[in-house]
Chains A and B, each alone.
Chain A
């Protein structure tokens, strides 16, 4: 008899019989477990964050590890909407329509500061955050966010799915190792003896 823990803290018990094994769990937990590892993404990519998205999708960072590598260019076949980049007021109706076309359960990922809050665009044409149009599950700040932050966001989303939690979540900044190493390397500054 083995034990497997899903992210949500639900225990799946694997019981081994004499000839075949079977497992017991809650139906919802199983469903969430399946959903969490089969996120079909619809990339809604509009601006410079796309560069980082490409890095994300490429083998170096390898999104396939998390079951989220298959882009579907039809919203009807996807359950994770990646909003990558600046959304203008003119695009907002299109974004809303795409979101409405997606089948439940659907999740929205705000990639980058622009998608999260409008970023530094302080003007007549930019939508100040996609959450003004569609509900967002995970915000990833950064201009653009590093792929590590995006992976953090993806894992956060998987965790939320496993828990059945739909409140928005945000990727916290990681502790920057260069700050700790600041006494060793200071670019452009003479090191002061401290």
Chain B
């Protein structure tokens, strides 16, 4: 549908469009992170593209699979022309240095909370964001939980937890974290129907 948009982008930005592909009706362009906001603004303002609706913004952590490590993914849609496009930008090295990219809040207001979530979960620093704070986790939280190097079972309780030694079966004191991970050798007691 929107292969034309990819053509327009390629002709306008040339080498800053690193890669494009169209699969399953989705058109994707991997772009130079330095020109992220510029490309976003072009997409919104160019009458051929007219991407006036912000859809989604998130990130992916490809730790150990590709460098740069993070991929910021943006989806936008044109209500006028009824086409959509996916933009990607790759940022950050394996030690998570330089995980920053321009904010697109000045282009689409709707990106505000998405960028906050992305910052909260992946620690992507959006330059020029008006209010870059955590949105889902609490301010005391240390680290970025959706990064691949964050231990999945690490919680950071805000209050001191009680010790519950007399937990009744079928629950156990070691519930929660190890519970879901031990499904293979989970001891099945006698069947209770």
- In the bound complex, do residue B156 and residue A124 qualify as a contact, i.e. CB atoms below 8 Å apart? yes
- In the bound complex, do residue B159 and residue A179 qualify as a contact, i.e. CB atoms below 8 Å apart? no
- In the bound complex, do residue B137 and residue A90 qualify as a contact, i.e. CB atoms below 8 Å apart? yes
When distances are taken between beta carbons in the complex, the residues of chain B under 8 Å from A116 are 171
Pick from B150, B159, B166: contact of A93, CB below 8 A.
B159
- In the bound complex, do residue B164 and residue A139 qualify as a contact, i.e. CB atoms below 8 Å apart? no
Kindly identify, within residues 96 to 140 of chain A, every residue whose CB is under 8 Å from any CB belonging to chain B.
96, 116-118, 120, 122-129, 131-135, 139
- In the bound complex, do residue A89 and residue B156 qualify as a contact, i.e. CB atoms below 8 Å apart? yes
Instruction: Produce 1/0 per residue, A153-175, CB < 8 A to B.
Output: 00000000000000111101101
- In the bound complex, do residue B179 and residue A117 qualify as a contact, i.e. CB atoms below 8 Å apart? yes
Give the residue name and chain of the B residue nearest to A173 (CB). B192
When distances are taken between beta carbons in the complex, the residues of chain B under 8 Å from A120 are 180
Range, interface on chain A: 20 to 34
- In the bound complex, do residue B179 and residue A129 qualify as a contact, i.e. CB atoms below 8 Å apart? no
A92 CA to B141 CA in the complex, in Å?
14
When distances are taken between beta carbons in the complex, the residues of chain A under 8 Å from B162 are 131-135
B177 at the interface (CB under 8 A from A): yes
A175 CA to B191 CA in the complex, in Å?
11
A135 CA to B166 CA in the complex, in Å?
11
Interface of A is mostly: loop
Given contacts A89-B158, A92-B159, A133-B162, contact A122 B168 (CB under 8 A): no
- In the bound complex, do residue B158 and residue A92 qualify as a contact, i.e. CB atoms below 8 Å apart? yes
A125 CA to B155 CA in the complex, in Å?
6
When distances are taken between beta carbons in the complex, the residues of chain A under 8 Å from B18 are none
Given contacts A89-B157, A116-B171, A131-B167, contact A176 B193 (CB under 8 A): yes
- In the bound complex, do residue B179 and residue A122 qualify as a contact, i.e. CB atoms below 8 Å apart? yes
Pick from A124, A126, A133, A135: contact of B150, CB below 8 A.
A124
B47 at the interface (CB under 8 A from A): no
A143 CA to B177 CA in the complex, in Å?
18
B175 at the interface (CB under 8 A from A): yes
- In the bound complex, do residue B181 and residue A122 qualify as a contact, i.e. CB atoms below 8 Å apart? yes
Interface of B is mostly: loop
A141 at the interface (CB under 8 A from B): yes
Give the residue name and chain of the B residue nearest to A167 (CB). B166
When distances are taken between beta carbons in the complex, the residues of chain A under 8 Å from B152 are 122-124
- In the bound complex, do residue A117 and residue B171 qualify as a contact, i.e. CB atoms below 8 Å apart? yes
Q: Would you give the shortest CB distance from B86 to chain A, in whole angstroms?
A: 27
Give the residue name and chain of the B residue nearest to A135 (CB). B162
When distances are taken between beta carbons in the complex, the residues of chain A under 8 Å from B159 are 92-93, 96, 133
Given contacts A90-B138, A132-B162, contact A118 B157 (CB under 8 A): no
Q: Would you give the shortest CB distance from A137 to chain B, in whole angstroms?
A: 12
Given contacts A90-B137, A129-B176, contact A179 B161 (CB under 8 A): no
When distances are taken between beta carbons in the complex, the residues of chain A under 8 Å from B154 are 124
When distances are taken between beta carbons in the complex, the residues of chain A under 8 Å from B161 are 132-133
Q: Would you give the shortest CB distance from B124 to chain A, in whole angstroms?
A: 18
- In the bound complex, do residue B179 and residue A168 qualify as a contact, i.e. CB atoms below 8 Å apart? no
15 contacts between A and B (CB under 8 A): A89-B156, A89-B158, A90-B158, A120-B180, A122-B177, A123-B145, A124-B150, A124-B153, A125-B155, A127-B157, A128-B155, A128-B175, A129-B175, A139-B171, A170-B171
B contact set with A: CB distance below 8 Å: 136-138, 145, 150, 152-159, 161-162, 164, 166-171, 175-177, 179-181, 192-193
